[in-house]
Amino acid sequence: STVTADDARASDTARASDTARLFERIFGAEPTGVWAAPGRVNLIGEHTDYNDGFVMPLALPHTTTVAAAPREDGVLALYSADLPGPVAVLPLEDLTPGAVPGWTGYPAGVLWALRDAGHEVGGASLCVASTVPTGAGLSSSAALEVASAMALCELYGAVPDGQRLARIAQRAENAFVGVPCGIMDQMASACCTAGHVLHLDTRDMAVRQVPFDMAAEGLRLLVVDTRVKHDLADGGYAERRAGCEAGAEALGVPSLRSVPRDGLEDALARLTDPGVRALVRHVVTENERVARVVGLLEAGRARDIGPVLTEGHTSLRDDFGVSCPELDLVVGTAVAAGALGARMTGGGFGGSAIVLAEADAVGELGERVVAASAAAGHPQPRVFEAVPSTGARRVL
Ligand code: GAF
């Protein structure tokens, strides 16, 4: 059940040429280029990005690859190597928010967002292939959006930086697909660099690449995809977000970012709704956990971040209410079996957890987590290693 990062990494270029060949077969001509953008896990800083707070994701070696060429007939044509179906043919004038269903809504939303932002982007053919697990909380949507955005921009001579790409991708998801996500996943996919975690201040969008060379320290980071996604994921996310906004309003601040850690007790005393109070406590303490993790990493003390990660999980479980039995079992089992730390990662209600461990312990930890899940009657999790990888790039 434990696969190494090499399985997923298996040569960027080889995968890009496969996608280019498929493009040729489907569209009868060579693509202009091939672009790739990764999925992510978040090390710490959860449900903080829509509160102007701090996040710290790293890119996975798993990517979505997009082979693309411009078209002159006013159409966006989309083909997926992973999902059965004919080429989706979408006239540009039909691209309106909410009108394009399924996976095609993401690239269509990107094209719409680019045009809406005044970029002169026309029709295109896109052939998409991905190794990012879907529905696993690993940002397969952001990978698809960012790879499509980069492809469409470069086809039409625009050269936006990573942050602009991420904003276009987020707008596609918020306004076109209709998911009220923050900016973390798109920034991770667009701006991460190999060997680093991306420290992002979502208020002023300042970015710091923090070295995270686990192999050199004898550490490994496992991703455990529980393969469950609970129904309340979408509604639950929007509800938490609204609760945070209600908290900020009750406290008279522009966002929960403005509540400092040492002002937390005062703030909590001023809130009457216990649900809102718990949300506020999570966000404020989570921002402080990000600060602790950056400090430890910069001091060369990567091992010591473990307990901070586990603390973050407890806060997401008890205060923010976005964990679930499958994630709790993975985290609890890993920590009891000697992991340095573990937590759910991403939005929650299913999806994936991360486990930080000594290199020589990961094999057994993976097995214990799988065995515990089986004993509890949960689906068999998929376990693999997260190696901090490169953000969006042109491959061919
Ligand atoms: C999801 C969202 F897309 C992100 O913006 C972020 O809010 C995350 O949940 C929680 O930290 O991945």
292-335 pLDDT tens trace: 999 999 999 999 999 999 999 999 999 999 999 999 999 999 99
Extract the annotated binding site for ATP: 80, 135-141
16, 395 Cβ separation under 8 angstroms: yes
How many Cβ atoms from other residues are within 10 Å of residue 262's Cβ?
9
- Taking CA atoms only, the protein residue closest to ligand 1 atom 5 is 182
- Please name the residue whose Cα sits nearest to atom 2 of ligand 1: 181
**Among 12, 52, 185, 319, the one annotated catalytic:** 185
The percent of residues in the chain predicted with pLDDT above 90, rounded, is 94
pLDDT digits (tens, 9 = 90+) for 240-288: 999 999 999 999 999 999 999 999 999 999 999 999 999 999 999 999 9
Å from CA of 188 to ligand 1 middle: 11
Give the mutation target among 237, 244, 245, 322 for probing the ligand 1 site: most ligand atoms within 8 A of CB: 237
Concatenating the DSSP letter of every residue in 10-59 gives S-HHHHHHHHHHHHHHHHSS--SEEEEEEEEEESS--S-GGGT-EE-EEE
The 10s digit of each residue's pLDDT in 121-152 is 999 999 999 999 999 999 999 999 999 999 99
Span from the CA of 282 to the centroid of ligand 1 (angstroms) = 14
Nearest to 395 by CA among 61, 22, 16, 107: 16
- Atom of ligand 1 minimally distant from the CA of 139: 12
What pLDDT, on the 0 to 100 scale, is given for residue 3? 45
**Confidence check: pLDDT of 9 > 60:** no
CA-to-CA separations, 49 to 46, 210, 327, 393, in angstroms, rounded: 7, 18, 21, 24
92 secondary structure, DSSP code: G
- pLDDT band of residue 234 (cuts 50, 70, 90) is confident
302 C-alpha to center of ligand 1: Å?
24
- Note the pLDDT of residue 6: 57
Which atom of ligand 1 approaches the CA of 49 most closely? Answer: 7
Q: How far apart are CA 169 and CA 363, in angstroms?
A: 37
Distance, CA of 367 to CA of 315 (rounded, Å):
26
- In ligand 1, which atom is closest to the CA atom of 182? 5
Q: Of all protein residues, whose CA lies closest to atom 9 belonging to ligand 1? A: 347
Q: Which atom of ligand 1 is nearest to the CA of 45?
A: 11
- CA-nearest residue for atom 3, ligand 1, is 181
Confidence at 10, pLDDT banded by 50, 70, 90:
low
ipTM of the complex: 0.99
Q: Is the pLDDT of residue 4 over 70?
A: no
Binding site listing for substrate: 46-49, 237
Residue 43 burial by Cβ neighbours in a 10 Å radius (0-12, 13-18, 19+): buried
Pairwise CA distance, residues 135 & 320, whole Å: 21
Active site residue 185: yes
From the annotation, which residues make up the binding site for Mg(2+)?
A: 141, 173
Pocket of ligand 1 (CB under 6 A): 46-47, 49-50, 181-182, 184-185, 346-347
Residue 157 alpha carbon to ligand 1 centre in Å: 31
Query: How far is the centre of ligand 1, averaged over its atoms, from the C-alpha of 338 (Å)?
Result: 28
Residue 203: band (very low, low, confident or very high) from pLDDT cuts 50, 70, 90 = very high
